[in-house]
């Protein structure tokens, strides 16, 4: 079967652009999560939409599973081909097709990595703000509705996608949306595809909203004695109406990990913030208010106005945190939570989660894009300690349950993938899940697009 699929796909893209070599299928069998590896039969690198459409038509005719692949940096098993079949790696479809400079927009192919895209866009004084830290592809970010440090000001990927070209599970190619920033014409297919994790359609082109690079910015560090005080300050800052461009909470463990490789900060709970403005004066006025709020919440140190180098180093440390965490305990299993709640509930969630580390004697760290109410933990257990590994799952479930009780969600940005499916009914209710299944069956009656993800049946 593998040989047959390979031969058929090579006829579409050319022999050198599809492979079943062991090393290739191995690297496309697992993302950055701790979910089990599943090997695809064939990996293919198409060059254009027409080839994607032909590959999908072949898969539809032969009932073969198809999973899209950007950078494989997902954290919930989203890009693992659990039913084997074909993985479409969009690495060759990585071009900027047009910069619509006057409209602050860009049209790109899905395989471009957002950091490379932003480097090119900087020449136009523009950038795409969603910033997941890992060097993800635009296709993967659209499919997972990725977000990040700047979402508190600029929104998640979903808020910054205007139009898409999509290959449906039949192989038909459709266009959704338009370049108008206001759109009210019918069902919003663009934003149905965003966040659908490649289960409804494969994105072959995306038109994205951009923002002007800020004229002035200031990075701010506020240090606290307790995580609870820092979380209260998050609500204080957002509630005051000032608009940070980033507001990250890092507990003392997270700072300790960042200090191992990049920073040299006091190992205490910290808020790392950034403010963008048209003038230095407008930023300074905001900073005075933020300092007051942090002091009222118990901050013991407040530093604003870091220069560009220092600011870049702080963000380098923040973005390196994930990689550092994965590398520090190579002999351990890890679990990542990604819950999000309304901002007024963030201090409640942070206090609950922080208490749970002690109550369950769990080793790990608490951090997150706090300004969005988004909280992450990374917890560790030795691979051979079955009881402790079970505790990590219990810890994760309890944090998710608490977030949903607080009117929040089991995943703010990583998506459902494999790992979050068990919470879907609890979060959405039976009726909504049945409706999602109906949508999936309507798009993909043969269940060939990324089967086993988001909702399984
Ligand atoms: C250290 C680290 C930190 C991270 N921090 C964040 C963070 O702060 N915020 C955040 O949101 N995420 C974060 N992530 C997760 C990850 O980077 C994002 O989910 C990202 O969007 C995945 O993009 P990718 O290109 O790697 O996609 P992949 O993992 O390759 O694929 C993701 C999903 O998209 C599908 N897909 C890929 N291409 C297409 C396409 N063209 N059309 C349709 N479907 C497609 C795949 O099948 C899969 O379901 C982090 C990951 C790591 C490793």
Structure-block tokens of residue 164? 């898409």
For ligand 1, atom 44, name the residue with the nearest CA: 198
Q: Is 32 in the pocket of ligand 1 (CB under 6 A)?
A: yes
Ligand 1 pocket mutation, candidates 73, 324, 337, 374, criterion most atoms within 8 A of CB: 73
Rounded-to-integer distance, Cα 81 and Cα 83, Å: 6
Ligand 1 centroid from CA 140, angstroms: 4
pLDDT given at position 133: 87
Ligand 1 pocket mutation, candidates 136, 328, 374, criterion most atoms within 8 A of CB: 136
- Ligand 1, closest atom to CA 71? 26
Q: Is 147 in the pocket of ligand 1 (CB under 6 A)?
A: yes
Ligand 1 centroid from CA 324, angstroms: 19
Ligand 1 centroid from CA 71, angstroms: 7
pLDDT given at position 349: 98
Q: Is 90 in the pocket of ligand 1 (CB under 6 A)?
A: yes
pLDDT given at position 346: 97
- Ligand 1, closest atom to CA 79? 48
Q: Is 137 in the pocket of ligand 1 (CB under 6 A)?
A: yes
For ligand 1, atom 6, name the residue with the nearest CA: 132
For residue 421, which of 378, 444, 388, 450 has the smallest C-alpha distance? 450
pLDDT given at position 32: 93
Q: Is 40 in the pocket of ligand 1 (CB under 6 A)?
A: no
- Ligand 1, closest atom to CA 143? 34
Q: Does domain 214-328 match CATH 3.30.70.2190?
A: yes
Ligand 1 centroid from CA 455, angstroms: 18
> If the chain, 457 residues long, is cut into consecutive pieces of 10 residues, what is the mean pLDDT of each piece?
95 98 98 95 98 98 98 97 98 98 98 97 97 94 97 97 98 98 97 98 98 93 97 96 95 96 96 92 92 97 87 93 86 92 97 97 96 96 94 97 98 97 97 98 97 92
Task: End-to-end CA distance of the chain: give it in Å, rounded.
Answer: 24
Q: Is 136 in the pocket of ligand 1 (CB under 6 A)?
A: yes
- Ligand 1, closest atom to CA 149? 8
Question: Residue 175 phi/psi, 5° resolution?
Answer: -115, 140
- Ligand 1, closest atom to CA 193? 43
Please give, one letter per residue, the 3-state secondary structure of the chain: CHHHHHHHHHHHHCHHHEECCHHHHHHCCCCCCCCCCCCCCEEECCCCHHHHHHHHHHHHHHCCCEEEECCCCCCCCCCCCCCCCEEEEHHHCCCEEEEEHHHCEEEECCCCEHHHHHHHHHCCCEECCCCCCCCCEHHHHHHHCCCCCCHHHHCCHHHHEEEEEEECCCCCEEEEECCCCCCCCCCCHHHHHCCCCCCCCEEEEEEEECEECCCEEEEEEEECCCHHHHHHHHHHHHHCCCCCCEEEEECHHHHHHHHHHCCCCCCCCEEEEEEEECCHHHHHHHHHHHHHHHHHCCCCEEEECCCHHHHHHHHHHHHHHHHHHHHHCCCEEEEEEEEECCHHHHHHHHHHHHHHHHHCCCEEEEEECHHHCEEEEEEEEECCCHHHHHHHHHHHHHHHHHHHHCCCECECCCCCCCCCHHHHHHHHCHHHHHHHHHHHHHHCCCCCECCCCCCCC
Ligand 1 centroid from CA 407, angstroms: 25
Q: Is 110 in the pocket of ligand 1 (CB under 6 A)?
A: yes
Tell me whether domains 93-212 and 329-442 share a fold: no
Q: Is 367 in the pocket of ligand 1 (CB under 6 A)?
A: no
For ligand 1, atom 50, name the residue with the nearest CA: 134
pLDDT 10s digits, 393-410: 999 999 999 999 999 999
- Ligand 1, closest atom to CA 78? 49
For ligand 1, atom 52, name the residue with the nearest CA: 134
Task: Please give the CATH number for the structural domain made up of 329-442.
Answer: 3.30.70.2740
- Ligand 1, closest atom to CA 111? 41
Ligand 1 centroid from CA 292, angstroms: 38
Q: Is 77 in the pocket of ligand 1 (CB under 6 A)?
A: no
Ligand 1 centroid from CA 146, angstroms: 7
Task: Please give the CATH number for the structural domain made up of 93-212.
Answer: 3.30.465.10
In the chain, domain spans: 2-91, 93-212, 214-328, 329-442
Q: What is the pTM of this model?
A: 0.97
Task: Please give the CATH number for the structural domain made up of 2-91.
Answer: 3.30.43.10
- Ligand 1, closest atom to CA 32? 53
pLDDT given at position 331: 82
């Amino acid at each position: 079967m593998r040989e047959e699929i390979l031969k058929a796909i090579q006829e579409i893209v050319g022999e050198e652009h599809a492979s079943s070599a062991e090393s290739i299928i191995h690297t496309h069998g697992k993302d950055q999560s701790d979910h089990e590896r599943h090997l695809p039969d064939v990996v293919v690198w198409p060059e254009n939409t027409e080839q994607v459409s032909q590959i999908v038509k072949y898969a539809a005719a032969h009932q073969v599973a198809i999973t899209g692949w950007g950078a494989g940096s997902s954290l919930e098993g989203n890009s693992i081909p659990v039913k084997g079949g074909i993985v479409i790696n969009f690495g060759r479809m990585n071009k900027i097709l047009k910069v619509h400079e006057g409209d602050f927009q860009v049209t790109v192919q899905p395989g471009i990595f957002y950091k490379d895209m932003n480097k090119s866009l900087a020449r136009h004084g523009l950038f795409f703000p969603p910033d997941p830290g890992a060097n993800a592809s635009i296709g993967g970010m659209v499919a997972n509705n990725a977000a990040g440090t700047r979402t508190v000001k600029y929104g998640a990927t979903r808020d910054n996608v205007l139009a898409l070209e999509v290959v449906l599970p039949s192989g038909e190619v459709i266009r959704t949306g338009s370049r108008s920033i206001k759109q009210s014409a019918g069902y919003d297919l663009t934003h149905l595809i965003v966040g659908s994790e490649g289960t409804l359609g494969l994105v072959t082109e995306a038109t994205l909203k951009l923002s002007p690079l800020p004229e002035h910015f200031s990075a701010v560090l506020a240090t606290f004695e307790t995580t609870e005080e820092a979380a209260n300050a998050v609500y204080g800052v957002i509630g005051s109406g000032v608009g940070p461009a980033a507001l990250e909470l890092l507990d003392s463990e997270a700072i300790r990990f960042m200090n191992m490789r990049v920073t040299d900060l006091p190992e205490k709970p910290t808020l790392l913030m950034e403010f963008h403005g048209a003038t230095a004066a407008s930023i300074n006025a905001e900073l005075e208010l933020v300092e007051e709020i942090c002091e009222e919440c118990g901050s013991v140190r407040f530093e604003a106005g870091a220069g560009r180098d220092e600011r870049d180093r702080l963000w380098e440390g923040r973005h390196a945190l994930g990689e550092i965490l994965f590398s520090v305990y190579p002999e351990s299993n890890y679990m990542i939570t990604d819950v999000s709640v309304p901002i007024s509930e963030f201090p409640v969630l942070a206090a609950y989660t922080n208490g749970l580390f002690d109550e369950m004697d769990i080793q790990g760290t608490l951090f997150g894009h706090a300004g969005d109410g988004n909280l992450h933990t990374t917890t560790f257990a030795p691979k051979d300690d079955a009881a402790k590994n079970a505790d990590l799952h219990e810890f994760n479930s309890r944090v998710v349950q608490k977030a949903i009780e607080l009117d929040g969600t089991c995943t703010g940005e990583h998506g459902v993938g494999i790992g979050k499916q068990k919470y879907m009914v609890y979060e959405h209710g039976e009726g909504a899940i049945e409706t999602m299944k109906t949508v999936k069956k309507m798009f993909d009656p043969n269940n060939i697009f990324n089967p086993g993800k988001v909702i399984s049946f």
